[in-house]
Amino acid sequence: MAKHLDLEEQEQLDQIKHFWARYGNLITWVLIAVFGSLAAWNGWNYWQRSQATKAAALYDEMERAAVASDAERMERALSDMKEKFGGTTFAAQGGLLAGKTLFDAGKTDGARAALSWVAEKASDDAYKAVARLRLVALDIEAKAFDQALKTLEAPVPKSFEPLVADRRGDVFMALGKTEEAKAQYQAAWLGLSDRAEYRRLVEVKLASLGVSVSSLAATAEVAR
């Protein structure tokens, strides 16, 4: 009986040896690839976490510069942020913060450069849209109305479309084109939620042009 079991065990062992001789290298390479991928994935995640932590620390520095109204410190921090962490959300947020800080400090060119970078390089379309809206505000102040309208042509997330219409209305008002402005403000008002505080500001603009939002709402309801 023992010999019979020994023979069976030997046969199984021979089968395993045969199998390994045939497929052993393939299995080894598959395992190497799997464990190598896991190691690379873990390394990538660690690097991502490390980058986010460092970017957050640098953003804190930018916030301190903003509170101190220190334009030069802000410009240095923004430069470091773009160079080292340009693909992070913190970089987009920092660019918007820098734009406001530099504008308040009278550095309009610096503010425009910061906002233009966000509009072109941000990884999130929402941040790009915010940057463009702020750039248009600079264009209106500089009376660069053609540039403002061109900036507003860029596609934006649907939730930003009413804000773009409102800002386009501001450009038309500055140009003295009241009918075009009225149409844009109407589009903005209709596109904004009735719970949005910004809608109240659009109502004021419409009222100054003699448009009753109650009649506008009634017309919209009939159209539905």
Extract the tokens encoding 176.
Answer: 């003295």
CA distances from 90 to 22, 56, 118, 132 (A): 53, 7, 11, 18
Q: How do the pLDDT tens digits run along the chain, 224 residues long?
A: 445 546 566 666 666 666 556 666 666 565 555 544 544 444 444 445 666 788 889 999 999 999 999 999 999 999 999 999 988 899 999 999 999 999 999 999 999 999 999 999 998 999 999 999 999 999 999 999 999 999 999 999 999 999 999 999 999 999 999 999 999 999 999 999 888 899 999 999 999 998 888 777 666 554 45
Phi, psi of 67 (to 5 degrees): -65, -40
Q: What pLDDT was estimated at residue 162? A: 94
Extract the tokens encoding 158.
Answer: 């649907």
CATH topology of domain 24-123: 1.25.40
200: amino acid identity, one letter: R
Specify the residue for token string 């873990």: 42
Q: In whole angstroms, give the CA distance from residue 130 to residue 187.
A: 19
Q: What pLDDT was estimated at residue 218? A: 65
Q: In whole angstroms, give the CA distance from residue 165 to residue 120.
A: 21
